[in-house]
Structure 1
Amino acid sequence: MHHGGNNRVVVVSPQFCMPQQTVLVMQEQAGFKSDDFTITDATGRPIFKLSAAVCSIGNKRQLLDAYGTPLLHMERKMMSLHGTWLLLRPSDGAKLAELKSSLMSLTPSIKVYLNDGDKEPDYVIKGDFRSKRFSICQRTHGSDVPIAQVQKESRFANSTAFLMSMVTDAQKYFVTIEPGVDAAFVVALATLCDEIYNDKE
């Protein structure tokens, strides 16, 4: 990966690296049932779908594109001490990344390791998970560069998004993704932050 102002981050597919900053609208999944969630852009256009795997009790999720094509399997690693989740490629089950949480520490964070064999995390997610205010950062040479921000309110929230939230009354939150960053990867991370945090409650 080259370094510089426009770090491209590709984990799932380059087709989800938008050239401009992108805001996606997600829903909190407190007590994630077997509901499927649609993740939209700020105008309400479906971008991704999130489904709970049938017949698994809170241990598997699947990220699909807007047309229902599987992009990513998310699977909780059984018998892991802290919530550890794996991101797997649907076609062959290859591990793309692993998330490990240390929410019990004074500075709660979730570390993301790509399947590249090194011991240092490639991404670090830190902030206030309870109030849905955290950053997803790429760790390069010991410094953390934000690639996405998660927050409950969005300065981009237009009237459409506002009306949508009035109608559905779901717990919405916003994910702002930097240009050139794999939106599918970011959505998976945001989903699992929710999941890991709800586990701890």
Structure 2
Amino acid sequence: MVNPITIISSRFLASNPLDLSIIRNPFTLTRGNYTVTDADGRVMFEVQGSLFSLVSRRVLLDAAGTPILTLQRQLWHLPFRWEWDVYKGDSKEKIFSAIRSPYIPYKTSLNVFLGCNTKQNVCDFKVEGSWFNQSCTIYAQDGTTTVAKMQKNHSVESIALGKDRFDVTVYPNVDYAFIVALVVILDQSKTRFQCVEEILGQGIQFNEALQYTIEKHDATASGSPLPLQPLSFLTHQTRLKHIESREVNPEANNMPSAPLIPTSSNEIEEEENSSSP
């Protein structure tokens, strides 16, 4: 049992563990619209986003439609560092900041600093988790006291309707409006890091295509066997056959070709699973 943690308001404290579902609505003009319900399906909060906002402005509303928090991403930041500032209601009173830095692929990490922590030498809360498991744990300052946990739901309904649903358990006497804001920021930050990952993946594929074209040209000119195509050229269904052909024909592995670098988180996950005992 932790001491009461009030960040937004004491009215968002529960004496027992509180289960919430945070659902990102699919068919909206922005990616930032969420509905938050309790275990009985009652709407607790809604998050509304601005379509034309350079700072990805989001507003957390209570069940009555009253603005509780305003979330917005800092427009100017260091490369691969995303910082969100959270304000009380629609005012300029900063409640906390959440910073994701540095860029660690496929790793979830947020450092949270309260508004009074101006030096930001030590974070007040920390979010740690994994993109592969699509889960995270929120810790207090000491890094060992858990205040909430989140797990992405993969139910048939969520998949069929195209809704991303995050199941959150908030520990007793922890401000659950604060936890909801952190999960929304985490989801928004992950989306932006996925965009970076896609750009990096496209760069790798371009490099592989260039190397393959040069090697193919050289092989044709010299009458040598043509190099094997990089895995990024192939569909998922033909990659296994391609790998098997390399295992059956060891000489193919000695031919120069572009480095085989996974270009997506799914490929990396499959590679790790296949290599594990």
Seq. identity, %: 25
Q: Taking structure 1 as reference, are residues 97 and 75 closer, same or farther at Cα in structure 2, changes over 3 Å only?
A: same
| Counterpart selection for 2:125 from 123, 126, 130 | 123
Aligned counterparts of 2:74 and 2:26: Cα–Cα separation in 1? 20
**Aligned AA (2:127):** I
Aligned equivalent of 2:172: 179
Residue 14 (1) aligns with residue 7 (2): no
Residue 134 of structure 1 is matched in structure 2 by: 136
Secondary structure of residue in 1 paired with 2:19: strand
**Residues 166/102 of structure 1: CA separation in 2 closer, same or farther (3 Å cut):** closer
Higher Rg: 2
2:103 paired with 1:104: yes
Give 2:145's aligned residue.
145
| Aligned match of 1:113 | 113
Task: Quote the offset at 1:37 in angstroms.
Answer: 2.5
Residue 41 in structure 1 maps to residue 56 in structure 2: no
* 8 Å CA contact retained: 1:22, 1:176: yes
Mark the CA change 1:32 to 1:57 in structure 2 (over 3 Å): closer, same or farther: farther
SS at 2:174 equivalent: coil
CA shift, 1:90, in A, is 1.9
Cα RMSD, aligned residues only: 2.6
Mapping of residues 158-197 of structure 1, within 5 Å: 165=158, 168-197=161-190
Deviations 1:50-88 (A, max 9, x none): 100353146110000011000000010111121100011
Residue 52 (structure 2) pairs with residue 55 (structure 1): yes
Q: CA deviation at 1:97?
A: 0.5
Q: Give the drift of 1:192.
A: 0.4
Q: Aligned partners of 1:43 and 1:165: how far apart in 2? A: 17
Q: Which has the higher strand share?
A: 1
- Whether the aligned pair in 1 keeps the contact of 2:72 and 2:86 (CA below 8 Å) is yes
TM-score, normalised relative to structure 1: 0.83
Distance 1:189 1:13 in 2: 15
- Show structure 2 runs of 5+ residues with no match: 195-277
In 1, are the aligned partners of 2:47 and 2:60 still within 8 Å (CA)? Answer: yes
Q: In 2, distance between residues paired with 1:80 and 1:137?
A: 25
Change (3 A) 1:128 1:198: same
**Bigger fraction of residues in helix:** 2
Tell whether the 8 Å contact from 1:33 to 1:52 is kept in structure 2 after alignment.
Answer: no
- 1:30 to partner: Cα distance: 8.0
Cα distance in 1 for residues equivalent to 2:108 and 2:96: 20
CA contact (8 A) 2:25 2:35 kept: no
Distance 2:27 2:123 in 1: 29
- The residue identity in structure 2 corresponding to 1:13 is S
Q: CA deviation at 1:173?
A: 1.7
Does the 8 Å CA contact 1:28/1:194 hold for their aligned counterparts?
no
CA offset digits 1:8-35 (Å, max 9, x no partner) = 1111111011111001001247897437
CA distance in 2, matches of 1:63, 1:198: 19
Are 2:66 and 1:73 aligned?
A: no
Q: 1:98 to 1:163 in 2, by over 3 A?
A: same
Residues in 2 aligned to 1:30 and 1:64: alpha-carbon distance in whole angstroms? 19
